[in-house]
Structure 1
Amino acid sequence: MPSFEYGKVNDSGDASKLISILSQCFMMAPSDGEVYMQSVGIENFRVIRQNKEIAGGLAILSFDQNYGGEFVPMTGIAAVGIAPEYRGSGAALALMQSAVKEIHVEGAPLTALFPAVQRLYRAAGYEQAGSFCNWEITTASIQMGKPQLPLRLITTEKDILRSLNQKQARLHNGNLNRNEFIWADIGRSKDAQQYAYLIGSADNPQGYIIFTQHRGDDNDYINVRDWVLLTPAAIQSFWAFLGGHRSQIDTVRYRSALVDALTFMLPEQTAKLKSSTRWMLRIVDVKKALEKRGYPQNIQASLHIEVQDDLLESNNSKFILSVANGRADVAPGGKGDLKLDIRAFAPLYTSLFSPSHLQMTGQLEATENAITTATQIFAGAGAWMADFF
C-alpha cells in the first residue's frame, strides 16, 4: 500500500498547489479558488501528500446541527479534491479517514458532507442521512390573497435574521446553527440585486425572506436565497407576497424539506419538487452524539445498542442508551439487542429512515422489542438542510 501523509497547508506554495488541484477538480477559475480559500480560511484546509507531493485536499468547517431540538457540534467536510494523476491510488480514502480521525481527536461527535459519489464516503463510515431539495412554483398558482402580516425591506438587521433563523433551525432535524461562512455566502450575490424583507412587526418579527430576481430564457423567476417562517400567518404572508409578483415574475424557486409543510397551505398542489439529493453523515463519537441529541419528551426507555466501527475503536462497542425527559445518558455494556455498523447508525440518528426500514434493507439486526423502542426514541421528521457547503 502507498504511504500517505495528512496535514495542514504549510505555506503559500502548498496553498497555490491545492488551489490548482481544486480548481481543476471543480472546473473553476484559479481566482475563484483563491476567493474560496480566503472565505473558508487557509487554516481550515487539509492536504494529503505522497512522497512529499500534494495529491489532494479538503476543507473543514465547524457547525452545530439540530437533532431533537438540541444543537449538536458537527464538522462539515467540503471541497474534497484529488489530482487526476493520483486518483485510484488510495489517496482519497486516506484523506477522508485521516480527517475523521482528526475530527474525533478535536471532539466533534458528528461530521457531514455533500457527496459527489457515495462509495468513497461510505468506505470512511458516512451514510445517507438527510435531504437537500429544490422546489418550484408558478406565481399565478399561489392565489393566497394579501399578506396577513406587514413586510418591511431591511438592510442592516443582521442580528434579527440570525436570531430568527436559529429559532427555526431548532424545529427541524438537520438544520444548521450557521457559522460565518454560511452567512457570508447568503450575503453574496454576484449576478443580481438581493432583497431582504422582515415578516411581521418590528417588535414581533415572525419570519423573513431573502431573494433575488432573474430573467431566464423561458421565464423570469425569483430565487429565494433564505427564508424563516415561524407562524401560520408568516407562511401565508410569504406565499401572498410572492404571488403578488405574478405580473412580472413567472416562477419562484426555493429550498425546503422533502415533505414540505409550506405547501400544505397552498390552495392547490402546484409546488413541484425539481430536484432532491441526500447529504451524508458520520457518527464520530457514539456516546457524545447520543447524549447531546434531543429526544421526545414523553419517552422513557432504554435501548441496548451494539455498534461496529472499523476505523474508530472507541465506537466499536456495546452501549446502553437511557432516555428520559428529552435527554439521554449512555453507559458502556448491555446485551446488544440492536446491532448495526457505524454507517447504518447515521440515518437512524437523523430519523431519515426508521429502524424497520433499516432492518428491512439488512442494515441492522434487532429483537422485536428493540425495534419498537428504537422507533419511539428516534421518532421525528426526516432531517434536511437548505444550506450547502
Structure 2
Amino acid sequence: MTAQFEYSTLAHPQDIKQLETILEQCFISGLGGEEAYINLIGVENFRIIRGWEQVVGGLATLDMGQWWGGVRVPMTGIAAVGIAPEYRGSGAAIALMQHMLKELYARGVAISALYPAVQTLYRKVGYEQGGSWCIWEISTRNIQVREQPLPLEPVVSINHQIFHELYQQQARLTHGYLDRHPAIWQRIIQPDEKETVYAYFIGTKEQPQGYIIFTQERTEDGEILWVKDWVLRTVAAAQTFWSFLANHRSQIHQVRWKSSAIDSLTLLLPEQTAKIWRESRWLFRVIDVVKALEARGYPSEIQAELHLEIQDNLLPANNGKFILSVANGRGEVTKGGKGELQLNIRELAPLYTSLFTPYHLQQVGKLNGTEKAILAATQIFAGASPWMPDFF
C-alpha cells in the first residue's frame, strides 16, 4: 500500500469533518468532543496528511514556551496525532511528522514536545524521553498536617488571567514547565458537564502566596479530590495546602495531584505514605540545534566549553560539529570544533532536558565522549528532574 502523501493546513469544511471523524475513532472521543477540541485549538493550528485522494490523518500544533534553566524557550507542542485505522502502517504517520518538523524548523521553532501513545513512531523522527508527568496519591487520613498558617479565599469568577502571574513565578523556576497555551488553561478551569471546579487563593486575594484548583469525584473506590493545578510560593502556602486537603478527610477518601517524580511537597508529610499513582514520560525534540542551545538557561556559576558532533537524518542543518560556550548562565554556539561528544539528535533530547546525566546516557550507548567532554556536559546540563503538570 503506497501513496504520494500531501501535507497541508486544515481549512476546507469537508476536510474538517473528515478529521473530526478520524480523531473520534482514534481517541474514542477522549478529546471530549472533536469539533469543540478543534475549535479550542484553532483550525489554523491543525495539519492534515492526504493520500488516496482523501484525508487520512492529522495533528494539532500548540505554539507556546517551555522553561529551561530559568529561561523561556519557544516550543511547539504536538497533540492529537491520529491516522485512520485503515491507513495505519502505510507510512502516513511518519510522513505527517516529517513534514511538520520541517515546517517548524522553517518557522524558527527551537524545540518540540509531545505525549506518545507509542514511542516508536516519534523516535524515528528524532524525539526521545524528555521529562516526567506524574500523578501522586495519598489518603486524606495520612496527611496529618494540622497547622494552617494562611487563610484561603474562594475564587468566585474563575479565569486563567487571575492565576497567570502566580503560575509564571513557579513555572520559571521549574525545569520543564510550560508557558501554557490558552487551550491548556481552558481545560484546567473549564468544567465538563459532570464536574464542578473549585478554586482558592492561598493567602489573601490582594497578596496570594499560591492557589489550588480542584474537582471532587465519587467512585467505587471512594471519594477522590483531584487537584487540577496548584502553585505554592512559600513554606506557609505549602503547609496550608496540606492542612486544607487534610480537612476534607470526613468526606474525601483520596487526594490526587500532579507533581515531579521526586516531589519535595511530600517532605512536609509525617510519613512516606504518598505514592505515585500514575507516571509517564513526555517526549522532546531539538528542532534547531543552534537556537535551542542558545535559548535556554544554564547554571550561572559554570564557565565551560563543549564540543559536540550531532547527527540528524531529517533536518540537515543540525548535522555536524558545534562548540557550545557557556558563561554567566547563557550559551553561545559556533560551528566547528573537535566533536568530542558524539550523539544523535534523538539522544540530545534527554541531555538538553537533564532527564539523564551524560554518564548514564553513555552507559546505555546513547552517546560517546571523551572524559573531558562528559565532565563539561555534566556541568552544563546539570538541573532538577524535569517535569510538567500539563497533559496535551
Q: TM-score range by the shorter chain?
A: over 0.9
Give the 3-state SS of the residue equivalent to 1:372 in structure 2.
helix
Match of 1:353 in 2: 356
- Residue 302 of structure 1 aligns with an amino acid whose one-letter code is E
- Residue 383 of structure 1 aligns with an amino acid whose one-letter code is P
Match of 1:76 in 2: 77
CA distance in 2, matches of 1:75, 1:346: 15
Q: Give, in angstroms, the shift of residue 218 of structure 1.
A: 2.1
Give the 3-state SS of the residue equivalent to 1:16 in structure 2.
helix
Stretches of structure 2 that go unaligned for 5 or more consecutive residues are none
CA distance in 2, matches of 1:328, 1:179: 26
Q: Give, in angstroms, the shift of residue 250 of structure 1.
A: 1.0
Q: Calculate percent identity across the aligned residue pairs.
A: 55
2:252 aligned with 1:284, yes or no? no
2:370 aligned with 1:367, yes or no? yes
2:223 aligned with 1:206, yes or no? no
2:161 aligned with 1:159, yes or no? yes
Verify the 8 A CA contact 1:339 1:364 in the aligned structure 2: yes
1:156-207: per-residue Cα shift (whole Å, max 9, x none)?
A: 3743310000111111111001121111111121122111000112333111
TM-score (norm 2): 0.97
CA distance in 1, matches of 2:301, 2:156: 42
Match of 1:187 in 2: 189
Match of 2:12 in 1: 11
CA distance in 2, matches of 1:104, 1:302: 26
Match of 2:390 in 1: 387
- Residue 313 of structure 1 aligns with an amino acid whose one-letter code is P
Q: Give, in angstroms, the shift of residue 10 of structure 1.
A: 3.0
* Change beyond 3 A, Cα 1:52–1:269: same
2:340 aligned with 1:337, yes or no? yes
Give the 3-state SS of the residue equivalent to 2:245 in structure 1.
helix
Verify the 8 A CA contact 1:146 1:241 in the aligned structure 2: no
User: Which of these residues, 286, 295, 300, is aligned with residue 297 of structure 1?
Assistant: 300
2:124 aligned with 1:123, yes or no? yes
Aligned length: 389
Verify the 8 A CA contact 1:20 1:30 in the aligned structure 2: no
Q: Give, in angstroms, the shift of residue 231 of structure 1.
A: 1.2
CA distance in 2, matches of 1:66, 1:29: 28
TM-score (norm 1): 0.98
Give the 3-state SS of the residue equivalent to 2:185 in structure 1.
helix
Tell which deviates more after alignment, 127-136 or 142-151: 142-151
2:259 aligned with 1:256, yes or no? yes
1:52-101: per-residue Cα shift (whole Å, max 9, x none)?
A: 31111101111100100001010010000111111111000000011111
Instruction: List structure 1 segments (4+ residues) > 6 angstroms apart after TM superposition.
Output: none
User: Which of these residues, 223, 233, 237, is aligned with residue 234 of structure 1?
Assistant: 237
Verify the 8 A CA contact 1:56 1:83 in the aligned structure 2: yes
- Residue 18 of structure 2 aligns with an amino acid whose one-letter code is K
- Residue 330 of structure 1 aligns with an amino acid whose one-letter code is V
Verify the 8 A CA contact 1:129 1:279 in the aligned structure 2: yes
Match of 1:89 in 2: 90
CA distance in 2, matches of 1:168, 1:309: 34
Match of 2:249 in 1: 246
- Residue 197 of structure 1 aligns with an amino acid whose one-letter code is Y
CA distance in 1, matches of 2:160, 2:36: 23
2:208 aligned with 1:221, yes or no? no
2:169 aligned with 1:171, yes or no? no
CA distance in 2, matches of 1:77, 1:199: 33
Stretches of structure 1 that go unaligned for 5 or more consecutive residues are none
1:184-238: per-residue Cα shift (whole Å, max 9, x none)?
A: 1111211221110001123331110000111111211101010001111111110
2:131 aligned with 1:138, yes or no? no
Verify the 8 A CA contact 1:7 1:46 in the aligned structure 2: yes
Q: Give, in angstroms, the shift of residue 106 of structure 1.
A: 1.0
1:242-275: per-residue Cα shift (whole Å, max 9, x none)?
A: 0011111111011100001110111111111011
Q: Give, in angstroms, the shift of residue 30 of structure 1.
A: 10
- Residue 337 of structure 1 aligns with an amino acid whose one-letter code is E
- Residue 70 of structure 2 aligns with an amino acid whose one-letter code is G
CA distance in 2, matches of 1:29, 1:138: 28
- Residue 147 of structure 1 aligns with an amino acid whose one-letter code is Q
Give the 3-state SS of the residue equivalent to 2:101 in structure 1.
helix
Q: Give, in angstroms, the shift of residue 150 of structure 1.
A: 1.1
Give the 3-state SS of the residue equivalent to 2:33 in structure 1.
helix
- Residue 67 of structure 1 aligns with an amino acid whose one-letter code is W
CA distance in 2, matches of 1:160, 1:20: 36
Q: Give, in angstroms, the shift of residue 31 of structure 1.
A: 8.2
CA distance in 2, matches of 1:202, 1:154: 9
